[in-house]
Amino acid sequence: MTTIKGLSPSTTQFDGSGLRVAIVHARWNKSVIDALVAGAVAKLKECGVKDSNIVVQSVPGSFELPLACSKVIAGSHVQAGASAGDLLGLTFGGSTASLTSAKPPPGSDTSAPPPTVVNIPNTPFDAVIAIGVLIKGSTMHFEYICDSVSHALMKLQVDTGVPVIFGVLTALTDDQALLRAGLGRGENKGHNHGEDWGLAAVEMGTKCKSWT
């Protein structure tokens, strides 16, 4: 039987060439995670997002995603003086410092070399994709993490106004997770949902920019 479920493709082609996107992913269930991250990155690039504007960071498990995403969003809004990476202790591909000379104040000794000012581009993220793979075990752990993470990620995007794409699979079995990453073990390989998340990030990043 065919299904009516699924994402209808947008009729608009969104241009991601001016967007900066962060992907924060968990490392639990890594083979599935890797496929989802690759799918998301491929679609971001297909939409024109530049390599240097895609920042990928990892955390241990899905439970850590909301805090890490919130730090990434906060860090991307810092002014000159500290890079986003400094805040998290991370190295961000897109935050590069440049050195410029400041104008000497009037009346000061102009023979002395001007002080050097470090300008770090204040380039906020237009969207963040949170990727995790939760697979139900025999305890209530799964339910608690699914519930708290989904609520926290929703709250984060509503509170900050930065789209946070919900890339967390909440699978009841290994096979469900594999199928949603295009890695199905049978003839049906399924579909890589990471691709949808990449497209969603570009659409929401573009729309939210135009709505502000």
Q: Give 61 or 121: the residue with its C-beta nearer to ligand DLZ.
A: 61
Contacting residues toward ligand DLZ, per CB under 6 A:
26, 28-29, 60-64, 132-135, 137, 141, 145
Any idea what DSSP says for residue 181?
B
Q: Is the dihedral of CA 35, 38, 44, 45 positive or negative?
A: negative
Task: Work out how close the CB of 36 gets to ligand DLZ at its nearest, in angstroms, rounded to a whole number.
Answer: 12
Q: Please check whether residue 77 is in contact with residue 122, taking contact to mean a CB–CB distance below 8 angstroms.
A: yes
Give the separation between CA 82 and CA 97, rounded to whole angstroms: 9
Q: Give 32 or 47: the residue with its C-beta nearer to ligand DLZ.
A: 32
Q: Give 66 or 75: the residue with its C-beta nearer to ligand DLZ.
A: 66
Q: Give 78 or 88: the residue with its C-beta nearer to ligand DLZ.
A: 88
Task: Work out how close the CB of 65 gets to ligand DLZ at its nearest, in angstroms, rounded to a whole number.
Answer: 8
Q: Please check whether residue 96 is in contact with residue 55, taking contact to mean a CB–CB distance below 8 angstroms.
A: no
Encoded tokens for 123? 């380039």
Give the separation between CA 17 and CA 15, rounded to whole angstroms: 6
Task: Work out how close the CB of 108 gets to ligand DLZ at its nearest, in angstroms, rounded to a whole number.
Answer: 54
Task: Work out how close the CB of 137 gets to ligand DLZ at its nearest, in angstroms, rounded to a whole number.
Answer: 6
Taking residue 212's Cβ as centre, other Cβ atoms within 10 Å add up to 5
Q: What angle do CA 159, 160, 162 make, to 5 degrees?
A: 125
Q: Give 60 or 81: the residue with its C-beta nearer to ligand DLZ.
A: 60
Task: Work out how close the CB of 26 gets to ligand DLZ at its nearest, in angstroms, rounded to a whole number.
Answer: 4
Q: Is the dihedral of CA 87, 20, 163, 62 positive or negative?
A: negative
Residues belonging to the active site: 141
Give which of 70, 197, 206 is closest to 132, Cα–Cα: 197
